[in-house]
Structure 1
Amino acid sequence: MGGGAGVSLHGRFRVATDNTIFAMPETALGLFPDVGASYFLSRLPGFYWEYVGLSGARLDGAEMLACGLATHFVPSNRLLLLEESLKKVDTSNPVVVCSTIDQFTQQPSLKENSSLNRLEIINKCFSKRTVEEIISTLEQVASGLADEWVAATIQYLKKASPTSLKISLRSIREGRTQTVGECLHREYRMVCHVMRGDFSPDFFEGCRAILVDKDKNPMWMPPRLEQVHDEAVEEYFSRIDDPEWEDLNLPARCSNGRIIESML
């Protein structure tokens, strides 16, 4: 979850199991899906990326494999055997590694209540231009369909930070046309603005309500989506004019594998 996903999901091989749970629940905390999430979420099928990023949805191992977040599914009781086999091959050759993992993989079935079985609804609702339109369309669906999943999704979105929802939606949509380096660079700017509290104190309030006091009743500022204007969202993507808050400086990898420093 969160930072743990950032550590693992940029790898070549991503092995999920029957015990795996994935989520990016940052909008409930007053943050946004970072650690390169705007890159790997924006590569999901259809508009599933907006759904996962905005709603904090929890996916199991089978769902991760089906949507492409995982490359392999290995039953948890075979992980030690897989580990021993990888030690024996003693190589970083991706073809050999992949072949070794393949020997332990299974093709899991999606649960009946999986969100991936609702892609038609997700694509209809989360393809809308704004968060307000997404919620409105979900409510229209809910009015004619008794589905606990739809109701739970609406409830989560209405309880999440309005500011976080809006900057998250834009971030994920920008990520679809950017490299992972560009996404990390942009997300770092956004995190700096969040940590400085330049435009909203929601991250500190979310930490208080969810992690410290645990009353689960954050008082967002501003409290409503319509009060988060486009101009305020735009500010989160701007460079900070302060020498103590420099832009992220990532190394670039040359074709021969050597690392050189370059400013994105």
Structure 2
Amino acid sequence: MRRITEGTSESMGQDGPVLTGRAGRTAHITLNRPRALNALTHPMVLTMSAALAEWERDASVAAVIISGAGERGLCAGGDIRAIHEDARTGGGDASTAFWRDEYRLDARIARYPKPYVALMDGIVMGGGVGVSAHGSVRIVTERSAVAMPETGIGLVPDVGGTYLLSRAPGELGTHLALTGRAVGAADALLCGLADHFVPSDRLDDLRAALAGADVRETVRRYARSAPEGQLAADRGWIDACYAADSVEEIVDRLLGDGRPASKEAAETILTRSPTALKATLAALRLARGLTTLEQVLDQEYRASCAALTTPDLLEGIRAQVIDKDRAPRWSPKELAQVTDAEVERFSARPPGGDLGLGAG
């Protein structure tokens, strides 16, 4: 774990799931569940929201930095074990409450009036993207692996993921959303998920330098050119294949393209939840036509609530993190069996009411 200790106060102690502190004029948030790859819980979201609200009013705070404890990454996403247990035994109320506050936190981060510096070192997935990629200064390293892997557990990309991916160049976002593929630094920069590349061994120095200096100028001084990625070279076949109007046609185009990479993408897609795939494509197309992040978060909240009522969410989490057999039994199991009505459910108003961030 990389952390400045001199001049820093940890308001929750060394063992809390979120550590907050100060170094000079910079406030720090450290996600501190390294054994769970810093997966977000509802109390963590509430702690972060409260800290950001306090620092927004504090004239002595010039910028905020978020990072993750441990050596593996910033954050692997929301605590899906808790979601599984809630959906299985609690009716989903705790999960919807978590999402409501999580998505509000993501919107707060996107509109934060002070520089919000996200150190996206290591694994950054799902909810981890939400608390980093909406920030104003987003830093990746050679260790970064950024992904929205929700279709693999029966969910639609959320936390503003469909907003970000729908605005990536061409159909790159569609490719990442359907496959759930993780990308490195250069590809994250290309897709608009990050702003700067800084080598991981310079993060300590950067963090120290930010304590009393202009954030953007300091980051530019530490930034370097990222190692070459892959997506720029693949734009041709990705744009051609993923421009199709249905997931079935996308898969057909990928299989017919003839490249090993496109065949691999098709095979990956076919392992994901058919229902989530179709709902994700619809969500991405809808997000392209919406103006604000808040409007998209409202739609994603509808999709997440709908997923709680499908068998694929429980099954996907079971297969990936409970039993870890990586062999989910989707229902329905084929794309052709997913009806338009089932897809439309993911954009319907939830029984408990809408999130309402984009109202007015």
Please tell me the residue identity of whatever aligns with 1:139. Answer: L
Structure 2: gaps of 5 or more residues: 1-124
Find the residue that maps to 2:135 and give its secondary structure: coil
One-letter amino acid matched to 1:176: R
Give me the whole-angstrom Cα distance separating, in 2, the residues matched to 1:115 and 1:154: 16
Would the aligned equivalents of 2:142 and 2:227 in 1 still touch at CA under 8 Å? no
Query: Cα deviation per residue 1:138-163 (whole Å; 9 max; x = unaligned)?
Result: 01113xx3x2x223211111110000
SS at match of 1:236: helix
Tell me what 2:148 maps to: 24
| Residue 191 (1) aligns with residue 330 (2) | no
Equivalence for 2:338: 228
2:288 counterpart letter in structure 1: R
Alpha-carbon displacement from aligned partner over 1:115-151 (angstroms, at most 9, x marks no partner): 3311100000001110000000001113xx3x2x223
Q: Is the 8 A contact 2:164 2:192 kept in 1?
A: no
- Report 1:88-103 matches (<5 A): 88-89=212-213, 96-103=214-221
Is residue 2:223 matched to residue 1:110? no
2:246 corresponds to which letter in structure 1? T
CA contact (8 A) 2:156 2:279 kept: yes
Whether contact under 8 Å (1:37, 1:172) holds in the other structure is: no
Deviations 1:67-86, CA, capped at 9 Å, x for gaps:
32111111111111111111
Q: Counterpart of 1:159 in 2: which secondary structure?
A: coil
- The two structures have a TM-score, normalised by structure 1, of 0.85
SS of the equivalent of 1:103 reads helix
Partner SS state of residue 14, structure 1? strand
Give the equivalent residue in structure 2 for 1:213. Answer: 323
Structure 1 residue corresponding to 2:268, chosen from 139, 147, 156: 156
TM-score where L is the length of structure 2? 0.63
Range moving further from structure 2, 125-134 or 212-221: 212-221
Q: Distance in 1 between matches of 2:327 and 2:283?
A: 26
Structure 2 counterpart of 1:204, from 314, 334, 340: 314
Question: Match of 1:52?
Answer: 176
Q: Is the 8 A contact 1:47 1:122 kept in 2?
A: yes
CA RMSD in angstroms, aligned pairs only: 1.4
> SS in structure 1 opposite 2:189?
helix
- CA deviations on 1:84-119 (whole Å, 9 max, x unpaired) are 111022xxxxxx3211100000112314xx233111
Counterpart of 2:240? 124
**Maintained 8 Å contact 2:168/2:191:** yes
Matched, 1:15 2:15: no
| C-alpha distance in 2 between matches for 1:60 and 1:41 | 15
Aligned to 2:348: 238
Question: Shift in Å at residue 24 of structure 1?
Answer: 0.8
Task: State the partner residue of 1:62.
Answer: 186
Matched residues, number: 235
Deviation, structure 1 residue 46? 0.5
Contact 2:173 2:191 in 1 (8 A): no
Deviations 1:228-256 (A, max 9, x none): 1112111210113x3xx121133x8xxxx
CA distance in 1, matches of 2:328, 2:276: 13
Say which SS state the counterpart of residue 117 (structure 1) adopts.
helix
Larger RCO: 1 or 2 (CA < 8 Å, sep 6+): 1
What one-letter code is carried by the residue in structure 2 that aligns with 1:247? D
The answer to whether the 8 Å contact 1:30/1:160 transfers is: yes
Deviation at 1:63, TM superposition (A): 1.4
Q: Quote the Cα distance in structure 1 between the aligned partners of 2:328 and 2:288.
A: 31
Q: For 1:177 and 1:29, how far apart are their aligned partners in 2?
A: 26
Whole-Å separation in 1 of the counterparts to 2:148 and 2:262: 19
Partner of residue 93, structure 1: none
CA contact (8 A) 1:23 1:56 kept: yes
Partner of 1:133: 249
Matched residue of 1:50: which SS?
helix
Partner of 1:39, secondary structure, is: helix
1:28-64 deviations in whole A, cap 9, x for unaligned? 1111111111111111001101001111111011211
Letter in 2 for 1:82: L
The percentage of counterpart residues that share the same residue type is: 38
Q: Measure the CA separation in 1 of the matches of 2:240 and 2:134.
A: 29
